[in-house]
Amino acid sequence: DQQVKQNSPSLSVQEGRISILNCDYTNSMFDYFLWYKKYPAEGPTFLISISSIKDKNEDGRFTVFLNKSAKHLSLHIVPSQPGDSAVYFCAASGNQFYFGTGTSLTVIP
């Protein structure tokens, strides 16, 4: 019962362009959403979050958009940098946190 899905296992983007990572969820009771970034051999690092009462949250180059009617959230990174190359996990929480399977982003210099 995968309640949070990231359907794109990988994404390649040119440096300076926009990276868009997508995430879908099934449980309408989720009310807090987070994105984590993970480098090889390290634990996931918190990146940005959004409450269900908002539809957008921005932090520097990172913006998360939430579409509750579609049960969809996305992470926009602009401009993308080579150091952004990592695996990105989305997570949703109600009483518990549920994680997607991750999208591996490669930013090509």
Partner 1 sequence: EAGVAQSPRYKIIEKRQSVAFWCNPISGHATLYWYQQILGQGPKLLIQFQNNGVVDDSQLPKDRFSAERLKGVDSTLKIQPAKLEDSAVYLCASSWGQGSGNTIYFGEGSWLTVV
Q: Which residues here bind partner 1, judged by CB under 8 A?
A: 4, 30-32, 34, 36, 41-46, 49, 51, 89, 91, 93-97, 99-102
Shortest separation between residue 22's beta carbon and partner 1, angstroms: 15
- d(Cα 42, Cα 64) in Å, to the nearest integer? 23
Q: Give the nearest distance from C-beta 100 to partner 1 in angstroms.
A: 5
Shortest distance in whole angstroms from residue 17 CB to partner 1: 26
- The CA distance from 43 to 49, in Å, is 17
Give the residue with the Cβ less far from partner 1, 89 or 107: 89
Instruction: Provide DSSP, 21-63.
Output: EEEEE--TT--EEEEEEE-TTS--EEEEEEETT-SEEEETTEE
